[in-house]
Amino acid sequence: MNGSPSRRSAIRSGLWVVWAMAVAGLVAGIAWKLAAPVAKIRIQSDGGYYADPSPRQFVEADMWFAGITFLVAVVAGVLAWRWLRDQPTPAVVGLAVGGLVGSVLAWLVGKYLGRLDHAAALKAKVGALIDDSLGLGAKGLLGVLPVAAVATWLVLDLAAQQRLRRLAPTEPTEPAEPAEPAESAEPAGQQPT
Q: Provide the Cα torsion 54, 55, 59, 60; round to 10°.
A: 150
**Residue 189 maps to a domain:** no
pLDDT tens sequence across 64-97: 999 999 999 999 999 999 999 888 999 999 999 9
Q: Which of 35, 21, 22 is nearest to 74 (CA)?
A: 21
Domain assignment present for residue 43? The answer is no
pTM of the complete model: 0.78
Total number of domains constituting the chain: 1
Angle between helices 5-35 and 88-113 (to 10 degrees): 30
Determine the pLDDT at residue 138.
Answer: 93
The model's pLDDT over 41-66, given as tens digits with 9 standing for 90+, comes to 888 888 787 888 777 888 999 999 99
Rounded distance, CA 148 to CA 69, Å? Answer: 9
Residue 51 covered by a domain: no
In a 10 Å sphere around its CB, with 0-12 CB exposed, 13-18 middle and 19+ buried, how is residue 191 labelled? exposed
